[in-house]
Each structure stands twice: as structure tokens, then as C-alpha cells.
């Protein structure tokens, strides 16, 4: 079975980490007219009618220059310009979530450039959120081709971070049996009928498996026993790494104590299929690891999505 979330990490680029401080090499590659640049205003990108707008290095504006890496003979970059540019055209400059249709459908840039876009916007989000030194409050200055920030006053360097977040499909009953059920929840801010797998951030000093158990218990009151790893997906919204798991429930009574979770329900496979087909159950989008977790448990593709 092909999992939909894998389209966003297919064909990764060579990140060229050892060359980020080679100024002569960077200058040479920037002068190459075949180089491609994604312009990011703050944390937003402007798509064109046929996909994202990559420009040549000669046509790129001034800004924070970020080396993304190489694919084949082409060097790929991002240039981060002030976010005020996007504010002047808010309908044209989109955050990453608004770009997912361009990256996951095969249209426009298609899934192949998603690793480059995720890399670029993840770094742009980091630059936007880290403008002052956490030690002394001094100004942070970019170096290492945009992958490091150093304090102009105390010299302390800062590096990008990815926050580990667990996302899980919890099942109850005999595995594979007709009455086996999976647990889905909905955020109170979502439109009617929208349900998804549960998720949450890993806390300091906590294993990923224990984070799965804690989050499910906190959000739904359901206790979880065995937890097995499924896969992962970079999700720079703004800086997460989604780590997917399957878990087996040891209790089934739902108790909603979390303010964010408005509803949580158990679904059999037949209930899921029927409700997804008639639109009363709206499942996560095809490019998300949540969708892959659901379809892996279900055993195949399901109709409908966000």
C-alpha cells in the first residue's frame, strides 16, 4: 500500500551541509544562472497560476540568502524578504498550509519539490521567530547559508529546532475483526463532521511511546497499552516533526476533559467507510500522515478528505 504522506518527502535533495560555510563556493553557485530561488516574504510564499514561483538567482531580490541544496546539476535556494511585502497582497502570499494543494496533488510543482519547500519555509519560520538572542537579548545575525544565527553581542550561536509531536491511531478490539474500532477526535474549532487522529507534543524527559499514552488519556480518557511506530512526516507549521504511531487501547470509555477536544468516537471499518462516503465523516487530507495512519488501519483508500 502506498501511503499518501510519503509524497511530501519523496526525492529528497542533497542539503550540502558541509558547504554552507564555503563562501567562495556559495558565490560561485549563486552566480550560476541555472540556480532556482524561492522567495519567501516573512513566512509566506506567492504561488503563480501553474505552481510556486521559482526565480533565477539573477532575478532574486535582496534578502537573507538560504542554501537549500542540490538536485542533479541545479542548486536550489530561498531568499527571505520582509514580511511587510506579503501584507500588501495578503490574498496572493500564502502560508505553508495554503500551499499544500500545490505540493500534494501532482499539479504545478507537484510532490517532487515538497522537500525543498518544507526546508525553505521551515527555516523562514525559524528566522521569523528567532530575532533576538535568548541569552542576552542581542541581535541575531545569519550565517552558514541561513542555517545558523549568531548573537552580534555575546557570540552565542542558535540552530534550527524541530519539535517532536506524536500523532496516533488508537484501536480497540481483536485486530482485523469486523468489530475492531479506531478512535478519532475533533477539535471544537473544526467544521461539522471533521474528525482526525489524536496528536500532541512530546514533553521534556518523556519517551515517544509515553507521550502517545499521555496525550490519548488527557484528551479522551482512554488508556493505551502497546504502542508501535508507524512513520514520520516533517511538518513545519511552524517547526514540528510528526511521529506516527499505532496504539492498542486497554479501556474504551471516553471521557472528554480536554478543552480543545469537542468530541471523540470509536468507528468500525464499515462505519468509517459508509460515513466517509456519504460525507458525514470528513477525514484528514491525503498528504497528511494522519490520513496514512487511518488508511493503514482501514486497509485501503477511503473516500473524501478535508
Structural domains of the chain, ranges and CATH numbers in brackets: 4-129 (no CATH), 163-298 (3.90.79.10)
pLDDT at 107: 38
- Of 273, 278, 220, residue with least CA distance to 247: 220
Q: Could you give the CA distance from residue 37 to residue 193 in angstroms, rounded to a whole number?
A: 40
Convert the pLDDT of each residue in 242-259 to its tens digit. Answer: 999 999 999 999 999 778
Q: How many residues does this entry show for the chain?
A: 306
Tens of pLDDT along 122-134? 999 999 999 999 9
Identify the pLDDT of residue 112: 73
So what's the pLDDT on residue 105? 44
The alpha carbon dihedral of 81, 87, 92, 98 has a sign of positive
Please, which residues bridge with residue 267 across strands?
Answer: 182
- In sequence order, the β-bridge partners of residue 165 are 201, 242
User: For residue 262, which of 168, 185, 192 has the smallest C-alpha distance?
Assistant: 185
CA distance 252 to 306: 27
**pTM reported for the whole predicted model:** 0.88
Residues of the chain with pLDDT under 50: 105-108, 110-111
pLDDT of residue 104: 55
Amino acid at each position: 500500500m502506498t501511503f499518501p504522506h510519503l509524497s511530501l518527502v519523496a526525492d529528497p535533495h542533497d542539503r550540502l551541509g558541509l558547504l554552507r560555510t564555503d563562501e567562495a563556493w556559495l558565490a560561485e553557485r549563486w552566480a550560476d544562472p541555472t540556480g532556482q530561488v524561492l522567495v519567501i516574504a516573512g513566512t509566506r510564499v506567492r504561488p503563480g497560476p501553474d505552481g510556486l514561483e521559482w526565480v533565477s538567482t539573477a532575478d532574486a531580490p535582496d534578502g537573507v540568502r538560504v542554501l537549500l541544496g542540490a538536485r542533479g546539476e541545479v542548486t536550489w535556494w530561498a531568499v527571505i524578504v520582509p514580511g511587510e511585502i506579503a501584507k500588501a497582497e495578503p490574498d496572493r502570499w500564502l502560508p505553508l498550509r495554503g500551499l499544500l494543494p500545490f505540493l500534494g496533488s501532482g499539479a504545478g510543482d507537484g510532490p517532487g519539490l515538497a522537500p525543498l519547500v518544507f526546508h525553505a519555509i521551515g527555516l523562514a519560520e525559524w528566522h521569523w521567530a528567532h530575532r533576538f538572542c535568548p541569552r542576552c537579548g542581542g541581535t541575531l545575525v545569519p550565517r552558514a547559508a541561513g542555517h545558523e544565527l549568531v548573537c552580534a553581542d555575546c557570540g552565542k550561536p542558535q540552530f534550527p529546532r524541530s519539535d517532536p509531536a506524536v500523532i496516533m491511531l488508537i484501536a480497540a478490539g481483536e485486530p482485523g475483526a469486523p468489530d475492531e474500532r479506531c478512535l478519532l477526535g475533533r477539535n471544537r474549532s473544526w467544521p461539522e463532521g471533521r474528525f482526525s487522529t489524536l496528536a500532541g507534543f512530546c514533553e521534556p524527559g518523556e519517551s515517544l511511546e509515553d507521550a502517545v499514552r499521555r496525550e490519548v488519556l488527557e484528551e479522551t480518557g482512554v488508556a493505551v497499552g502497546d504502542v508501535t511506530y508507524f512513520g514520520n512526516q516533517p511538518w513545519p507549521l511552524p517547526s514540528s516533526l510528526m511521529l506516527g504511531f499505532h496504539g492498542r487501547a486497554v479501556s474504551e470509555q471516553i471521557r472528554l476533559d480536554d478543552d480543545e477536544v469537542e468530541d471523540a468516537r470509536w468507528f468500525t471499518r464499515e462505519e468509517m467507510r459508509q460515513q466517509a462516503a456519504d460525507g458525514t465523516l470528513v477525514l484528514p487530507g491525503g498528504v497528511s500522515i494522519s490520513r496514512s495512519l487511518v488508511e493503514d488501519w482501514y486497509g485501503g483508500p477511503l473516500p473524501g478528505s478535508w
